[in-house]
Structures are given as structure tokens and as C-alpha cells.
Amino acid sequence: MTEEDDIDALAAEYVLGSLSPAERAEVDARRRNDASLAAAIAAWQLRLGPLSEEAPGLEPPAHLFSRILARISGQGETADRVAAVVPLTASRRRFGLATVAGALAACVALAVVWFEHTPPGPPGTHPTSVSCGTRYKVFWEQFDRQKYARISAEQLAGLSRMALRAYDACEAGDDQDARALFDRLARMQF
């Protein structure tokens, strides 16, 4: 069996859902940096996805949507701010100091808004949500403000993106990946 077959088989079982918890965690960590694995997963999602069409529905409890709305309240602003920060790298334009300062303000505000609006949830159900928001906030708090003046807009956007990835990994319960990313962020020198 070639390595390519192996990756494809792993991706197939990942999408199907038959992997053990350890294997699944491994694939989750690996797919972020392994383009061929990520592509194989996407291809299998397209192949097997149509099976979801025939899944019989079930009525969720009536109160659920209002709980979802309550949890996204305050996040609308967060999403707008993320959108404002992320295109920095996408467009790869040159930015003046004002843009960097704007991005800085957005990052700090984002961190604060995010933290303040991350509800703790019922005990035991979201053990990671508070600590993820806290870790995100702590990272930006510890990031010396003077450093912003020394780094390029592109670096700042990269940093912001990495911090969001760490937050996402943490929220997704992928602690190993989140810890590795937060550690890398903390060690960065400018």
C-alpha cells in the first residue's frame, strides 16, 4: 500500500466516522498542516455527504433556538471585527501605521469582547469555553503593546490568524493543538 493510499483510506474512515478517539484526534491535528490529507478529507466529504440527505429528521426542543440566539448575542460584533482583521493578509496590500494601529485596536477589542461574551454555559457541558476565551485574552494582554510598532501589518495579521486558530482548536476540544499554538505564540520574538 502506497502512502497515498494510506492517506486516502485514513481520510475515508475519518469522514465515515469509524476511527478510534485517538486516531480521530491525530487526524484532526494533522489535517491542519497536511494539504494532501485535508484534500482527501474534502473529497470524501463530497462522496459520502449525500447520505445525510436521507437521514430522518427529529424535532429539536423548542427552546433551543433562543438559547443559540442568546449565545451569539455579542458575537455579531466579534464576527465583524474578525472580518475586519483577517483580510489584512488576504489582500497583501501595504499598510500604513494607521492601519496597524487600527488592527491593533480591533485585536484588543476583539479579545475583550470575545472574553466578555463567552458565557460559561451549564457546569460540565462546556469545560473548555471559559478557558479558551481566557487563554485568548491572556495572549493579547501579554503581547507587549510596544511590539505592535515594530512588526509589519502582515505579521500582525498572521499573528491574529494564529491566535484565532489556537482559539478555534481550543474551542473544538483539540487541547494538544491549542496548547502547541498558544505556546508558539508566546515564544515568538520580534
Partner 1 sequence: MPVSRQDLVAALQQTARGDRAAFRLLYEATSLKLYGIVVRILGRRDLADEVLQEVYIRVWQRAGDFDAASGSPITWLAAIARNLALDEARRRRPRSLEEFPEVLQLPGTDDPAATHERSEELKRLEACLDGLEPDRKELVLLVYHYGMTREEISGRINRPVATVKTWLRRSLAQLRDCLGQ
Residue selected from 2, 33, 91, 125 as contacting partner 1 according to rule CB under 8 A: 125
| Using rule CB under 8 A, residue 120 touches partner 1 | no
Residue selected from 2, 52, 142, 146 as contacting partner 1 according to rule CB under 8 A: 52
Which residue stretch of 62-70, 90-98, 100-108, 182-190 sits at the interface with partner 1 (rule: CB under 8 A)? 62-70
Nearer CB in complex with partner 1: 17/96: 17
3-state DSSP helix/strand/coil % of the chain, to nearest 5:
75, 0, 25
| Using rule CB under 8 A, residue 97 touches partner 1 | no
| Using rule CB under 8 A, residue 123 touches partner 1 | no
Nearer CB in complex with partner 1: 35/64: 64
DSSP conformation letters of 69-98: HHHHTTHHHHHHHHHHHTHHHHHT----HH
Distance CA 47, CA 72 (A): 32
| Using rule CB under 8 A, residue 96 touches partner 1 | no
Q: How many residues bind partner 1 (CB under 8 A)?
A: 47
Distance CA 114, CA 134 (A): 9
Distance CA 164, CA 167 (A): 5
Query: Site residues for partner 1, window 145-184 (CB under 8 A)?
Result: 172-173
Distance CA 5, CA 65 (A): 43
